[in-house]
Structure formats: structure tokens, C-alpha cells
Amino acid sequence: MILYKNGRALIGDRLVKTDIAANHGRIIEIAPEIIADEQTEVIDCTNRFLLPALVDLCSYGANGCDFNTADADGIKKIMEYYVAHGVGTVFPTLKTDSEERLCKQLAVIAELSKEYPEIKGIHLDGPFVSPQHCKGEEKYVCKPSMETFLRLQKAAEGKIRLVTVAPELADGTAFVSELADSRVMVALGRSDADGETAAKAFAAGAKAVTDWGKEMSQLTAADVGLTGCALLGDCYAMTTFDKRVSNDALRLLVKTKGINKVVGVTMDSADAYQGLANTVTSCKLPLYEAIKLWTVNPARLVGLDSLIGTIEVNKHADFIIFG
């Protein structure tokens, strides 16, 4: 057992001075005072803060490496960077590439997930996207197809949990429905879909948008596009909190969607710590609200909120300890 003593932990919306006991990676008790026995490892957290570890669902890489091209050693460097920067859950994100390359990288990531429990899923941000908006190589964009997806999923040993889709592509909405039926989360993005097409894809099972407001059809007086449809609907909106999105746009997004429907991601900026800090400053949010965008909201989006995202008994003992 490990006992975290005398820290100030974020419990709900308050920083509470408390002890936290964990066993085999799970929180087993939270109380003002827990007595350690001789077998207990005690970590003194006096004058330190304990926050839920961050969750990053859309990240292309870090530490000079990216998931599309890195070998096993390179991916280990990425993961070491994440662990050092407060990320307890990461979905390695692959951009549009050849099927051969994607299968190779998926297999490497799946194997390393056995060594790095922080890898709790994989995000495909292509190749089922618009060639005009894809990340990666345009020539490898392909028609949405369950046959293609299942080949990729086989290479990933079933670890693909999130897929970005452009619903205006041929059979795009049907593909969204098939993925949703197979319990894979779908985000819309990299897309020129009009508002009507986007709305149909959300009705078919899409739960989020990737990279809100960027590389997607824009809101105009004539048509709300995917950007506006995301504001109108009950979906989650993933976005970076950095200079690529203005503070006014971020405040509009949070005010319109509400604090529980926005998800912070790093993409290629990598530093989730800095993203959290920017969320506080750009949206003028208290820490206990800002951190939701980097913990419980992404966990809920991908169905992991019973395990991660908050500090509660029976959840993973997955903390940021600082101060």
C-alpha cells in the first residue's frame, strides 16, 4: 500500500487537506488521517497539491518524435515526456498516412501499451477525412470503410477507441453509425461538411469534434457549418488552448458549450501542463473548473470516467503532485 500523507487534494471543487491510500494502483481510502502500518510506503505531501493526472486524447507526439514515424525507442521518449508533464492518460494520435505505415505504427503502439499503462487507447485522426483539411499526406486520404478500419484495428490489437471522420465523404454518415455501433467513439473533423450533413452525423452517433474551429467548415449567416453545428449540439468540442485559438474564441466556446463539454488537447504543442495553465488564464476560470477540461471531460468522452479523471475511491491512483 502507498499512503499519500498531508497533501491538499482536489476533491470535487475544493482543495482539501487529506490522506489518500492506494493499493495496486487504485485509491482505497480518502480520509483526514489514515494510519500507516509497517508495510505501507508513505509519501509526505505536506505543502504539496494533488490533482488528477491529465488526459490527452489528441496528441501527435512530443520530445522531438511523432507517432507516425517514431520507432519503439522514439515512442518511449514521447511517453516519458508525457509522464514528466502530468499526463496520466494519452491517446497516441496518428495522422493520415499510408495503410502500411499506419498498421506498422499501430502495432508498435499496441505493443508498448503493455509497458506504458498511460496508453489507454489510440486516436485515428485520418485517413477518413477531407483531403483539403487532413493532417499528413493528402494522397493517403481514403473513403470511409469498415473493411479498412478493421484492418487497422487488427494491427492495433483493438486499441483504437477514437476516430476522426469527415462526414461529407461518400458513405461518411453510414460509417459513423457503424463505428458507433462497434463502440468506437467518433469525432467529426478535418471536414467541409455543411451544417445539415454534420447534424446527421451527430444523430448517427458522433460524439465530438476534433480541433474545433480549425480545418473544418465555418459558421456563416448562410450555413452554420461544422463549427457552428458543434456549438448548437450536445457534442464535446476538442480544442487546443494556445496561440492558434484566440482567447475570445475560447471564451465563446466555453460559454456556449458549457464547462462540461469542452476538452483540452495538445495536438502538436505537447505540453498539457501549459495547456491547463492557458485554460485558466484565457477563459478566466478557477483551477477546479479549468482542470475538468483536461481530466473528467475527456475521460467521459471515451468512457473511462469510472477509472480516471477525478480523485475518488476505486479510481486509479493517478495524480499530479506538485508544490
CATH code for position 115 = 3.20.20.140
Q: Are residues 88 and 232 in the same domain?
A: yes
First vs last Cα of the chain: how many Å apart? 23
Residue pLDDT, tens place only, 65-90: 999 999 999 999 999 999 999 999 99
Q: Are residues 22 and 129 in the same domain?
A: no
Residue 29's CATH number: 2.30.40.10
Average pLDDT value for residue range 138-146: 96
User: Which phi and psi (to 5°) does residue 132 adopt?
Assistant: -75, -20
Number of domains in the chain: 2
Would you say residue 266 has pLDDT above 90? yes
Question: Is the alpha carbon torsion for 202, 303, 271, 115 positive or negative?
Answer: negative
What is the span of the domain harbouring residue 291?
54-301
Q: Are residues 119 and 38 in the same domain?
A: no
Q: Are residues 41 and 181 in the same domain?
A: no
Q: Are residues 43 and 171 in the same domain?
A: no
DSSP structure class, residue 53: P
Q: Are residues 22 and 120 in the same domain?
A: no
Q: Are residues 130 and 58 in the same domain?
A: yes
Average pLDDT value for residue range 229-258: 96
Q: Are residues 38 and 178 in the same domain?
A: no
Output the pLDDT for position 38: 87
Helices 225-232 and 247-257: crossing angle, nearest 10°? 40
Q: Are residues 33 and 178 in the same domain?
A: no
Q: Are residues 106 and 250 in the same domain?
A: yes
User: Which phi and psi (to 5°) does residue 125 adopt?
Assistant: -100, 45
Question: In angstroms, rounded to a whole number, what is the distance separating the alpha carbons of residues 114 and 104?
Answer: 17
Looking at per-residue confidence, does 100 or 38 come out higher?
100
Output the pLDDT for position 322: 85
Would you say residue 323 has pLDDT above 90? no
Q: Are residues 95 and 39 in the same domain?
A: no
State pTM to two decimals. 0.96
For 140, half-sphere exposure in the C-beta direction (CA atoms, 13 angstrom radius) is 17
Q: Are residues 16 and 164 in the same domain?
A: no
CB-based contacts of 161: which residues, under 8 Å, 6+ apart? 91, 120, 121, 122, 123, 184, 185, 302, 303
